[in-house]
Amino acid sequence: MFKETIDFVRGLYDHKEFIPLHEPYFNGKEKDYLIDCIDSTFVSSVGKYVDRFEQMIVEFTGAKYAVATVNGTAALHIALLLSGVKKEDEVITQPLTFVATCNAISYIGARPLFIDVDRETLSLSPEKLEDFLVNHTLQQDGFCKNKVSGRTIKAVVPMHTFGHPAKLKELSELASNHNIALIEDAAESLGSYYKKKHTGLFGAMGTLSFNGNKTITTGGGGMIITNDENIAKRAKYLTTTAKVPHKWEFYHDEVGFNYRLPNLNAALGCAQMELLPKILGNKRSTALMYQEFFCQMDEVEFIAEPSECDSNYWLNAIVLKNREIRDSFLEATNRSGIMTRPIWKLMNHLPMFRNSQSGDLENSEWLEQRVVNIPSSVR
């Protein structure tokens, strides 16, 4: 199985000597826009490309508002603050995620509370979430209280793993019924849809990432998307050092954050957005070829988009029979110049989150032992 997979991936990527997991695709007007930005001298957080990039995200996702930030973690940090999360509050999320999800929660001094994922979506399980909320929380003065810790649960943050949407209808209803804000960590899911609606638009806010390994990149960069005008205005204000708008005076009336995306990065993003439909089409084509190849192997399961979803297939992934086979596969492919990687360590296994409250994490623990990402760059 290892040799067949190595040969297939090499053929897919024109027999390159080294095949990365996911490299950025630059084949548009990136250099032209960057040069134009440099020539304008507006390379920091004020400039036409920031406004244009935000508008392009609005038009593509269907959100009413978009606020660009320096990275996806900053976007999530601000989204959590705007949802009312405070120090010592709790935020429900999944243990199977990139560490940035929990870092953003921790920046506020809040505590992550881990609920299991579904095997189908790799994202937060509505069934496990409902079980926890029904059996371990109560409503008090309009807030959701954790019976075990006594703390207030202010938000729930599903993360759309590898671009595959979570079961957003059920999660949205649960959050609403229990007075919890739904904030989508859509860092990996630009171009992914649940029931024909773009991810990030099912709760109060969603956050995107444009890191160098994402579907499109601005080098760094993130975005808050929302349909709430007041949230958008507040997000822009807080991410711009809480500066009161004025033509020349610098007056700040609260502690803010220097989180606005530089114009130079936004210029790159504008060129990348022009390529996005082509990128998404190419990635879907690659995923379908992988799916057809792996369906012939009993010992491998290719992770396909969940039902009622259109995934962007940011990172393709397979599930192997056990950890021993997974480790052997990782060794064989990487030794052959094909970059593969295991899924993340569970957040509750990391030293800074070991004491966080967790539900039954059976699915997350099962997946942690078996999931491997395989090359997913534009071909």
- Domain extents in the chain: 2-25+275-342, 30-274
pTM of the model: 0.96
Q: Is the pLDDT of residue 322 over 90?
A: yes
Q: Which two tokens stand for residue 172?
A: 């949205």
User: Left if phi > 0, otherwise alpha if psi is -120 to 50, otherwise beta: which for 279?
Assistant: alpha
Q: With cut-offs at 50, 70 and 90, classify the pLDDT of residue 245.
A: confident
Residue-level pLDDT at 46: 83
Residue-level pLDDT at 247: 87
Q: What is the mean pLDDT of residues 169-187?
A: 98
Pairing of strands 90-93, 111-114: parallel
User: Rounded to a whole number, what is the distance in angstroms from the first to the last CA of the chain?
Assistant: 23
Least confident of 28-32, 41-45, 283-287, 372-376: 41-45
Rounded to whole angstroms, the Cα distance separating 231 from 144 reads 22
332 - beta bridge partners? none
Polymer length in residues for the chain: 379
pLDDT tens string 261-279: 999 999 999 999 999 999 9
Q: Which amino acid is at 251?
A: Y
Q: What is the mean pLDDT of residues 97-126?
A: 98
Mean pLDDT, the chain, as a whole number? 97
Residue-level pLDDT at 27: 96
Q: What is the mean pLDDT of residues 326-334?
A: 98
Q: Is the pLDDT of residue 45 over 90?
A: no
pLDDT tens string 339-358: 999 999 999 999 999 999 99
Residue-level pLDDT at 136: 97
110, 91 Cβ separation under 8 angstroms: yes
Cβ atoms within 10 Å, residue 197: 14
Q: C-alpha angle 187/176/81, rounded to 5°?
A: 50
Task: Please state, in angstroms and as integers, the Cα–Cα distance from residue 370 to each residue in 119, 123, 163, 319, 364, following that order.
Answer: 11, 16, 18, 5, 10
239, 67 Cβ separation under 8 angstroms: yes
Q: Which amino acid is at 163?
A: G
| Nearest in space to 177 (alpha carbons), one of 166, 165, 169 | 169
pLDDT tens string 194-240: 999 999 999 999 999 999 999 999 999 999 999 999 999 999 999 99
The structural architecture, per CATH, of the domain 30-274 is 3-Layer(aba) Sandwich (3.40)
Rounded to whole angstroms, the Cα distance separating 119 from 97 reads 14
DSSP 3-state of 43: coil
Cβ atoms within 10 Å, residue 336: 17
The DSSP secondary-structure symbol of 376 reads: -
Residue-level pLDDT at 139: 97
pLDDT tens string 298-317: 899 999 999 999 999 999 99
Rounded to whole angstroms, the Cα distance separating 110 from 235 reads 19
297, 325 Cβ separation under 8 angstroms: no
Q: What is the mean pLDDT of residues 239-257?
A: 93
Q: Which amino acid is at 275?
A: L
Rounded to whole angstroms, the Cα distance separating 50 from 291 reads 38
Residue-level pLDDT at 239: 97
* Positive or negative: CA dihedral 327, 328, 333, 334: positive
* CB-count burial class (<10 Å; 0-12, 13-18, 19+) for 23: middle
Residue-level pLDDT at 317: 98
Q: With cut-offs at 50, 70 and 90, classify the pLDDT of residue 107.
A: very high
3-state helix, strand, coil split of the chain in percent (to 5) is 40, 20, 40
β strands within 211-311, DSSP E: 222-226, 300-302, 309-310
Residue-level pLDDT at 64: 98
Rounded to whole angstroms, the Cα distance separating 71 from 81 reads 16
Rounded to whole angstroms, the Cα distance separating 378 from 262 reads 26
Rounded to whole angstroms, the Cα distance separating 313 from 190 reads 10
121, 368 Cβ separation under 8 angstroms: no
Q: What phi, psi does 73 have (nearest 5°)?
A: -65, -40
Rounded to whole angstroms, the Cα distance separating 185 from 217 reads 17
